[in-house]
Amino acid sequence: MNVIHKLVSEEQVAFIKGRSLSEHVLIAQELFHKFRFSNSKGGLMAIKLDMKQAYDSMAWNTLKQVLNYFGFPIGYSKLVMECVTDPIFIVHINGVGLDGIKGRSGFRQGCPLSPYLFILCSQLLTNAPTAPRISHLLFADDILVFSMAKRENLLKIRKITFDYYKWTGQQVNFSKSAIIFSKKMERRRRMEFSKLMGFMEVKELNYLGIKIALRRLVVTNFSVILEKAIAKLDIWGNKLISMPCRVVLIKTVVLALHIFYSSLSLVPMSILNKLDRLCRDFLWYKKNGNSGILYVAWKDVCIPENQGGLGILSATDSVEPLRAKLAWNFLKKPHSLLYKSLSIKYGRSVWDVERRPNSSPSWKLILSGAKMLRHIVKWNIKDGTSINIMKDVWIMVEALTEGEWIPDKLKCFFGDELVNVICNTKIHMGNNEDDLQLLKNYSGKTISAMVRDGNSYLEEENHSFVQHWKNIKKLNLIPRIAFFWCRLLKNAIPSCEFLMHRRLLDNNLCLRDYGMKEDGEHVAAAFSSNNPYTDHWGANQLYKLNSSFWHPPPPGWIKVNIDASLLPSNEAGIGGIFRDNKGRMLLSFGFSVVHWDIVFLDLLAFCSLREVIKDWMMDARGLIIETDNSNVISYLQKSFAKDN
């Protein structure tokens, strides 16, 4: 559909490459900002139209007329109509298909052609020959119509709307449609107009998922973000989830809830701070549901993974990088409807612009993103009029001002050498204006990711830690083990040293090695019980250690290991595992009981073998039974000796 953007007006942005939902939301916010501060005596009005079953009720005859109106070849139009018309739907109940149901209108959901056909038909609203000069926004079947609040305009809009519905077979959803007026319009006229349209008058509405109101949005308007996050955390909080899994859930679910709202709305920082706090508490909570010790500061948790953090993107830190995409699109699309709307009022530059108190939310969002965008773009020189030679990046890959001057490097920026560098900077010939280019245009990263990478930094004292962390990452450990080593390197384990630092203990002495300080290094290596391991660490002689290992049975034999566990509440568990001479598991079993004697439980585990042994095990040459209770083994051996 390479011609679709030429046929469909710029007011319709759905399903067309190069047009985005975000631009429509920003335009809508700009227009409602005008409603809020308008001094027009006649007033302004906006109508939100909602259609019942938009896809299912579109008339096929309308599609045929639209294809003819846009001049599609007759053969192509026939092929399209054959793909759309006269479908038969068969409903299966318990695997039995009922009689077919013939469709009479509409486009099939899921068909890749349906979205384009729908927006072609909805173009009738834009191309109405008798329409007044009104502004409107369309995203598929979401329609906003703007006009001066005059009776004749309202009647024309009403006629065009209902003519469109009559032509296409669609119907107005009066319960979801609404009308909104500027703040200074008389109440009597507002009631008259809303009654004439049959729509409910509102002071705020949701457009494409974003709340738009005739006032400044406050914290309560964004409480839905926290409500969704709390609902997710309440479900997960009752389950035993490992810490690496909690990190994944925070990254992919909880912190993803605010992205759409933060990109297109001025979400209060208090909401984002609370969202970060919820994630932090969920990360460190105890298994019993109580809040745990915060072993690592939240800012260190949010450091990128290659620098020793967990790679969690804080909600407060992600706002401006998310909005950088808006500023980039604004600057790179001078022919877009958004650029035409905002540049006339606020100007074309987004650099070094002071944010005025009466600026619209749309302009504030773009300026917020532009602050982060400057560090990742470079100017292609054409006429040179758009460039600030001191602050913008236009020679090499850096600006001339980066904080304080370094006297030793001044010679590198002035004199003949600088002149040579500037002379070697390519000038793009032509009469066009200077344009922007991403410094890492071929990195494959999004604008937001480039901004985060450009603003990341590494403190000097963290260099050694990062190097150790990179070495650990090369081992490809499972996430749970890798996360433990990360905590160990950060001394973020409940050692006596850490607990004393948090004022939870009076001293940092190890309870097992008297007089030794218990820190992360002591726990991992210097503890006396670890000496046999550390002494042989570099000699590759761990087999010399006095440890117990599982030994396989002789060929043709089967070995079963049984055990029992007992809790103070007398809840107990019994289990076992069968393996062959190669260590391969053949069978496992387990069940729960209630008893108070561990010896009885071990004997019960032995007796339960009669119920779990399979017939095919009788073909084995023999069965070896192992358990860790020597008293039970001695008792059984003596019992068998007496029987024999």
Q: How confident is the model at residue 227 (pLDDT cuts 50, 70, 90)?
A: very high
Q: How confident is the model at residue 40 (pLDDT cuts 50, 70, 90)?
A: confident
Highest mean pLDDT among 72-86, 163-177, 215-229, 374-388: 215-229
b/e map 317-343, b = 16+ CB within 10 Å: ebbbbbbbbbbbbbbebeebbbbebbe
**What's residue 375's pLDDT?**
80
Q: What are 135-175's pLDDT values in tens digits?
A: 778 877 788 888 889 999 899 888 888 888 788 887 888 88
Of the candidate ranges 174-178, 396-400, 625-629, the one whose mean pLDDT is the lowest: 396-400
* CATH no. for 557-643: 3.30.420.10
Higher pLDDT, 49 or 523: 49
**What's residue 434's pLDDT?**
64
Task: Spell out the domain ranges in the chain.
Answer: 4-213, 319-455, 493-547, 557-643
142 bridge partner residues = 139
* Amino acid symbol at 618: M
**What's residue 384's pLDDT?**
57
DSSP string, 346-362: H-S--SS----TT--HH
**What's residue 181's pLDDT?**
92
**What's residue 572's pLDDT?**
92
**What's residue 405's pLDDT?**
38
Percentage of the chain lying above the pLDDT 90 cut: 17
Q: How confident is the model at residue 411 (pLDDT cuts 50, 70, 90)?
A: very low
| Contact status, residue 327 vs residue 308, Cβ threshold 8 Å | no
Mean pLDDT of 207-235: 90
- Label residue 85 exposed, middle or buried (CB < 10 Å: 0-12, 13-18, 19+): middle
| Contact status, residue 141 vs residue 153, Cβ threshold 8 Å | no
In eight-state DSSP terms, residue 526 is I
Contacts (Cβ under 8 Å, ≥6 apart) of 148: 40, 42, 43, 44, 45
Q: What are 50-101's pLDDT values in tens digits?
A: 877 666 778 888 888 888 888 888 898 888 888 888 888 888 888 887 877 8
> Is pLDDT at 576 greater than 90 in this prediction?
yes
Report the DSSP pairing between strands 178-181 and 44-49.
antiparallel
HSE-CB at 435 with a 13 A cutoff on CA atoms is 11
Q: Which 3 state secondary structure label does DSSP give 53?
A: coil
Higher pLDDT, 405 or 469: 469
Q: What are 487-515's pLDDT values in tens digits?
A: 888 888 888 888 888 888 888 888 776 67
- Residue 611: count of CB within 10 angstroms of its CB: 8
Residue 47: its H or E element: strand 44-49
Return d(Cα 258, Cα 254) in angstroms, integer: 8
- Label residue 612 exposed, middle or buried (CB < 10 Å: 0-12, 13-18, 19+): middle
Helix, strand, coil percentages (3-state) for the chain, rounded to 5, are 45, 15, 40
Report the DSSP pairing between strands 44-49 and 92-93.
unpaired
Contacts (Cβ under 8 Å, ≥6 apart) of 219: 268, 270, 271
> Is pLDDT at 477 greater than 80 in this prediction?
yes
In eight-state DSSP terms, residue 375 is G
Q: How confident is the model at residue 372 (pLDDT cuts 50, 70, 90)?
A: confident
* Amino acid symbol at 301: V
Query: Measured between alpha carbons, how far apart are the two ends of the chain, in Å?
Result: 89
Picking from 388, 341, 336, 378, the residue whose alpha carbon sits closest to that of residue 363 is 341
Mean pLDDT of 521-540: 62
Higher pLDDT, 401 or 363: 363
Mean pLDDT of 237-247: 80
Picking from 48, 14, 15, 50, the residue whose alpha carbon sits closest to that of residue 31 is 48
Q: What tokens does 54 get?
A: 């938009």
b/e map 439-465, b = 16+ CB within 10 Å: eeeeeeeebbebbbebeeeeeeebeeb
Mean pLDDT of 539-547: 49
Could you give the residue ranges of the DSSP H alpha helices within 211-297? 223-237, 243-249, 259-264, 269-284
Q: What are 254-266's pLDDT values in tens digits?
A: 999 999 999 999 9
Q: What are 327-370's pLDDT values in tens digits?
A: 988 988 888 888 888 888 888 788 877 777 788 999 999 998 88
Q: Which 3 state secondary structure label does DSSP give 441?
A: coil
Give the chain's mean pLDDT: 80
Q: What are 272-298's pLDDT values in tens digits?
A: 999 999 999 888 887 666 677 888 888
Of the candidate ranges 226-230, 357-361, 477-481, 509-513, the one whose mean pLDDT is the lowest: 509-513
Picking from 87, 86, 67, 85, the residue whose alpha carbon sits closest to that of residue 77 is 67
Of the candidate ranges 404-418, 564-578, 606-620, the one whose mean pLDDT is the lowest: 404-418
Q: How confident is the model at residue 219 (pLDDT cuts 50, 70, 90)?
A: very high
> Is pLDDT at 542 greater than 50 in this prediction?
no
**What's residue 465's pLDDT?**
74
Highest mean pLDDT among 98-102, 123-127, 321-325: 321-325
